[in-house]
């Protein structure tokens, strides 16, 4: 009876994210094959999904700019992230993060001139108790890698989001929903091989302070970043690389200092048919935080990403991804992502 009640509660809590993901997956066209103008889908645009580090701009992995015959495209992305981390009350900076963050992003990108590309990304955020805790605990227990906080029975599908520094409470927040910081990007190819199989792209992005800094949906400052993307396409395999640096602004509402940090990613996509492929990806996210903070906030992060991609019409595709941290302490525990892309 207890297990049935737990399952019913899981279904109830997952209802609105599940409806959204199902709509993205099923509502925009049936199975199809890729058009001749596109043979690969691209990497997984993974961020550092830790709720406190999402205050800042990140430079996710990207493929080369829009393909020939495409003027613009729209993207819808939904990511569900589970985070649990805690330190003892006797530590210099006690923290307790036990929550889930739902991030739904709407993005549009279009060509400027013959080759350059301009993009806008608008994220909507929800911080809540979520529904993944019992699922993750069962999987970790089966694999013998149970998170110490999970072993102690701390996750309760509740929102606990608290940080204390030098005896003073920095924040103690509950559930909330709202607009995040809007990002605007510009990319332009700077080099390509004679065959066109390899392309190097320069990128510049800024993030506007549109999210509420008081509810920690943004840092209340302007962030800026620069980077490069490289793509190499073979017959059945594509390799993607991204590297960049971000200059974040210090959060306006909390006494935390932010410093220059780096983002990087390496991804390999293998196409096993004209309408489907799989991607394996390694992401690096430098920490924007320094100073007298717990290791959970200061340590850099490595993550492993896995994605499957399939065509949903001649000029649309869907990407389903999983992001798992390789560095345990500073990371969001696990993230599930679903992205729908349509080119015009």
CATH number assigned to the domain comprising residue 310: 2.40.160.40
The mean pLDDT of 193-199, rounded to a whole number, is 91
Cβ(314)–Cβ(295) under 8 Å?
A: no
Distance (Å, whole) CA 136 – CA 143: 11
pLDDT band, residue 196 (cuts 50/70/90): confident
Q: Is the pLDDT of residue 3 over 70?
A: no
Higher pLDDT, 112 or 24: 112
Helices (H), the chain: 2-13, 15-26, 133-143, 148-151, 295-298
Structurally, the chain folds into a number of domains equal to 1
On the question of pLDDT at 250 being above 70, the answer is yes
CB atoms closer than 10 angstroms to residue 321: 22
CB atoms near residue 51 (< 10 Å): 21
Q: Domain residues for 241?
A: 2-343
What share of the chain has pLDDT > 90, as a percent?
A: 55
DSSP category for residue 54? G
Which residues, including other chains, have CB under 8 Å from residue 131's CB and lie 6 or more apart? 10, 13, 14, 17, 100, 157
Cα–Cα distance measured from residue 53 to residue 297, given in angstroms and rounded to the nearest whole number: 8
User: For helices 2-13 and 133-143, what crossing angle results, to 10°?
Assistant: 120
Q: What is the pLDDT of residues 165-187, one digit of tens each?
A: 877 888 999 999 999 999 999 99
Rounded to an integer, what distance in angstroms lies between the CA atom of residue 56 and that of residue 54? 5
């Amino acid at each position: 009876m207890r297990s049935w009640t737990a399952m019913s509660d899981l279904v109830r809590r997952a209802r609105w994210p599940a409806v959204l993901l199902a709509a993205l997956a099923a509502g925009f066209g049936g199975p199809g094959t890729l058009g001749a103008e596109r043979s690969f889908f691209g990497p997984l645009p993974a961020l550092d999904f830790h709720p406190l580090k999402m205050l800042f701009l990140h430079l996710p992995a990207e493929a080369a700019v829009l393909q020939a015959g495409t003027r613009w495209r729209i993207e819808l992305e939904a990511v569900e992230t589970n985070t649990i981390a805690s330190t003892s009350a006797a530590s210099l900076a006690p923290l307790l993060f036990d929550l889930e963050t739902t991030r739904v992003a709407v993005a549009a990108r279009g060509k400027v001139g013959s080759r350059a590309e301009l993009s806008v990304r608008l994220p909507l955020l929800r911080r809540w108790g979520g529904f993944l805790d019992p699922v993750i605990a069962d999987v970790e227990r089966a694999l013998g890698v149970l998170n110490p906080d999970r072993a102690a029975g701390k996750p309760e599908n509740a929102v606990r989001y608290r940080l204390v520094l030098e005896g003073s409470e920095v924040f103690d927040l509950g559930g909330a929903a709202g607009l995040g910081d809007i990002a605007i990007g510009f990319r332009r190819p700077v080099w390509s091989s004679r065959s066109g199989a390899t392309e190097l792209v320069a990128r510049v992005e800024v993030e506007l302070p549109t999210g509420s800094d008081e509810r920690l949906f943004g840092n209340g400052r302007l962030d800026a970043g620069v980077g490069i993307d490289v793509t190499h396409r073979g017959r059945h395999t594509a390799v993607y690389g991204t590297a960049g640096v971000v200059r974040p602004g210090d959060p306006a509402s909390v006494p935390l200092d932010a410093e220059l940090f780096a983002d990087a990613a390496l991804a390999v996509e293998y196409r096993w048919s004209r309408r489907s492929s799989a991607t394996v990806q390694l992401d690096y996210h430098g920490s924007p935080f320094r100073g007298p903070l717990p290791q959970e906030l200061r340590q850099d992060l490595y993550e492993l990403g896995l994605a499957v991609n399939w065509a949903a019409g001649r000029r649309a595709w869907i990407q389903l991804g999983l992001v798992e941290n390789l560095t345990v302490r500073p990371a969001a525990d696990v993230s599930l992502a679903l992205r729908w892309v349509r080119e015009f």
